[in-house]
A and B are shown apart, each in its own frame.
Chain A
Amino acid sequence: MPNILRETLEEGIFLLTFDRPDSDTNIFDFDTLSELESHLDAIASPEHHAKGLIITSAKPGVFIAGADLLALRKMNTEEVKTFIQRGQSVFNKLAALPFPTVAAVHGAAFSGGFELCLACDWRVASSAPETTLGLPETKLGLIPAWGGSTRLPRLLSVPKALDVILGAQVLPAAQALRAGLVNEVVPKEHLRLAARRWLERGKYEPGFAHSPAVNAMVDAVIAPGERHEVQQKTHGHFPAIEKALEVVLKGSASWDAADALERERDAIAELIASDTTRQLLNLHFAQERARKFSVPDAPAEVAAIKRTAVIGAGVMGSGIAQWLAAHGLPVILRDLDTTPLAEGMGNIAGLFAAGVRQRTFTEREARAGRDRISPVTTDVPLQRVDLVIEAATENLETKKTIFKRLDELVRPDAILATNTSALSISELAASTRNPRRVVGLHFFNPVHKMQLVEVIVGPETAPEVAQRVVRLMQQIGKLPVLVKNSPGFLVNRILVTYLAEAGALFWNGAEIKDIDAAMREFGMPMGPLRLIDEIGADVALEVSALLANAFPTRLHVPDVLPALQGTGLLGRKVGKGFYKYRRGAEASPNKEVAKLRPPGQLKPPSRDEIEQRLVLLMINEAARCLEERLVSSASEVDLAMVLGTSFAPFRGGPLRYADSIAVVKVAEELTRFAESAGPHYAPCGLIRDMAKSGKRFYED
Chain B
Amino acid sequence: MSERLVIIDGVRTPFCKAGTELASLTADDLGRIAVDALLTRTGLDTALIDEVIFGCVSQPPEVANIARVIALRAGIPESVPAMTVHRSCASGFEAFTTASERLAAGRGSIFVVGGTESMSRQPALFQDITVRKFAELTKSRSTKDKLTALAAFRVADFEPRALVHVAQTDSFSGLSMGETADLLAREDGLTREQQDAFALQSHQRALAAEARLAEEITPVYLGSKPIARDNGPRADASMAALGALKPAFEKYGTVSSGNSAQPTDGAVALLVMSESRAKELGLQPIGALTAYAYTGCDPAYMGLGPVSAIEKVAQQSKLTPADADVVEIHETFAAQVLGVLSRIKPPIPPDKLNVNGGAIALGHPLGATGARLILTSLKELARRKAQRALVSLCVGGGQGSAIWLERI
Chain B residues with CB under 8 Å of A377's CB are 219
Q: Once the chains bind, are A374 and B228 in contact (CB under 8 Å)?
A: no
> Does chain A have a CB within 8 A of B73?
yes
Q: Once the chains bind, are B221 and A341 in contact (CB under 8 Å)?
A: yes
- B43 in complex: contacting residue of A339, A367, A381, CB < 8 Å: A381
Q: Once the chains bind, are B40 and A339 in contact (CB under 8 Å)?
A: no
Interface residues of A in 365-396 (CB under 8 A from B): 367-368, 371-372, 374-378, 380-384
Q: Once the chains are docked, how many angstroms separate the CA of A365 from the CA of B225?
A: 24
- B75 in complex: contacting residue of A341, A342, A372, CB < 8 Å: A372
- A346 in complex: contacting residue of B42, B75, B223, B228, CB < 8 Å: B223
> Does chain A have a CB within 8 A of B32?
yes
Q: Once the chains bind, are A374 and B43 in contact (CB under 8 Å)?
A: no
With A342-B226, A381-B42 as given contacts, are A374 and B37 in contact (CB-CB < 8 Å)?
yes
> Does chain B have a CB within 8 A of A338?
yes
Chain B residues with CB under 8 Å of A343's CB are 224
Q: Once the chains bind, are B43 and A345 in contact (CB under 8 Å)?
A: no
Q: Please name the residue on chain B nearest to A343 by beta carbon.
A: B224
Q: Once the chains bind, are A384 and B45 in contact (CB under 8 Å)?
A: yes
> Does chain B have a CB within 8 A of A332?
yes
> Does chain A have a CB within 8 A of B182?
no
> Does chain B have a CB within 8 A of A330?
yes
- A376 in complex: contacting residue of B32, B41, B45, B75, CB < 8 Å: B41
> Does chain A have a CB within 8 A of B74?
yes
Q: Once the chains are docked, how many angstroms separate the CA of A374 from the CA of B219?
A: 11
Chain A interface, number of residues (Cβ within 8 angstroms)? 25
With A342-B221, A346-B221, A382-B43 as given contacts, are A374 and B36 in contact (CB-CB < 8 Å)?
yes
| Distance of A609 from chain B, by nearest CB (Å) | 48
- A-B pair count, CB < 8 Å, reads 55
Q: Please name the residue on chain A nearest to B224 by beta carbon.
A: A346
Q: Once the chains bind, are B75 and A371 in contact (CB under 8 Å)?
A: yes
Q: Once the chains bind, are B224 and A374 in contact (CB under 8 Å)?
A: no
Q: Once the chains bind, are B41 and A380 in contact (CB under 8 Å)?
A: yes
Chain B residues with CB under 8 Å of A347's CB are 224
Chain A residues with CB under 8 Å of B224's CB are 342-343, 345-347
Chain B residues with CB under 8 Å of A367's CB are 73
Q: Once the chains bind, are A371 and B43 in contact (CB under 8 Å)?
A: no
Q: Once the chains bind, are A332 and B75 in contact (CB under 8 Å)?
A: no
Q: Please name the residue on chain A nearest to B225 by beta carbon.
A: A342
Is chain B's binding surface mostly helix, strand, loop or mixed? Answer: mixed
| Distance of A290 from chain B, by nearest CB (Å) | 31
Q: Once the chains are docked, how many angstroms separate the CA of A381 from the CA of B282?
A: 13
- A345 in complex: contacting residue of B32, B45, B221, B228, CB < 8 Å: B221
Q: Once the chains bind, are A376 and B40 in contact (CB under 8 Å)?
A: yes
- B221 in complex: contacting residue of A332, A375, A382, A384, CB < 8 Å: A375
Chain A residues with CB under 8 Å of B226's CB are 338-339, 341-342
| Distance of A183 from chain B, by nearest CB (Å) | 32
Q: Once the chains are docked, how many angstroms separate the CA of A312 from the CA of B74?
A: 22
Q: Please name the residue on chain A nearest to B46 by beta carbon.
A: A384
| Distance of B233 from chain A, by nearest CB (Å) | 20
Interface residues of B in 162-217 (CB under 8 A from A): none
Chain B residues with CB under 8 Å of A332's CB are 40
Q: Once the chains bind, are B221 and A371 in contact (CB under 8 Å)?
A: no
Q: Once the chains are docked, how many angstroms separate the CA of A367 from the CA of B73?
A: 9
Chain A residues with CB under 8 Å of B37's CB are 374, 376
Q: Please name the residue on chain B nearest to A377 by beta carbon.
A: B219
With A371-B73, A372-B75 as given contacts, are A380 and B40 in contact (CB-CB < 8 Å)?
yes
| Distance of A318 from chain B, by nearest CB (Å) | 11
| Distance of B211 from chain A, by nearest CB (Å) | 15
Chain B residues with CB under 8 Å of A341's CB are 219, 221, 226
| Distance of B43 from chain A, by nearest CB (Å) | 3
Interface residues of B in 224-243 (CB under 8 A from A): 224-226, 228
| Distance of B277 from chain A, by nearest CB (Å) | 17
With A338-B228, A371-B73, A374-B36 as given contacts, are A380 and B223 in contact (CB-CB < 8 Å)?
no
| Distance of A135 from chain B, by nearest CB (Å) | 38
Chain B residues with CB under 8 Å of A349's CB are 222-223
Chain A residues with CB under 8 Å of B223's CB are 342, 346, 349
| Distance of A305 from chain B, by nearest CB (Å) | 16
Chain A residues with CB under 8 Å of B219's CB are 338, 341-342, 375, 377
Q: Please name the residue on chain A nearest to B36 by beta carbon.
A: A374
| Distance of B113 from chain A, by nearest CB (Å) | 19
Q: Once the chains bind, are B75 and A384 in contact (CB under 8 Å)?
A: no
Interface residues of A in 333-364 (CB under 8 A from B): 338-339, 341-343, 345-347, 349
Chain B residues with CB under 8 Å of A374's CB are 36-37, 39-40
Q: Once the chains bind, are A371 and B32 in contact (CB under 8 Å)?
A: yes
Q: Once the chains are docked, how many angstroms separate the CA of A378 from the CA of B37?
A: 11
Chain A residues with CB under 8 Å of B41's CB are 376, 378, 380-381
| Distance of B330 from chain A, by nearest CB (Å) | 29
Chain B residues with CB under 8 Å of A375's CB are 219, 221
Chain A residues with CB under 8 Å of B43's CB are 380-384
| Distance of B80 from chain A, by nearest CB (Å) | 15
Q: Once the chains are docked, how many angstroms separate the CA of A480 from the CA of B32?
A: 34
Q: Once the chains bind, are A330 and B75 in contact (CB under 8 Å)?
A: yes
| Distance of B61 from chain A, by nearest CB (Å) | 17
Chain B residues with CB under 8 Å of A346's CB are 221, 223-225
Q: Please name the residue on chain A nearest to B219 by beta carbon.
A: A338
Q: Mark B267-295, 1 if CB is under 8 A from A, else 0.
A: 00000000000000000000000000000
Q: A374-B40, A381-B43 are in contact. List 9 more A-B contacts (CB 8 A).
A: A332-B40, A338-B226, A341-B226, A346-B221, A367-B73, A375-B219, A376-B40, A381-B42, A384-B45
Task: List 11 A-B pairs, Cβ < 8 Å.
Answer: A339-B225, A342-B221, A345-B221, A345-B224, A349-B223, A367-B73, A371-B36, A371-B75, A372-B75, A374-B39, A381-B43
Closest 5 CB pairs of A and B: A381-B43, A346-B224, A345-B221, A338-B226, A342-B226
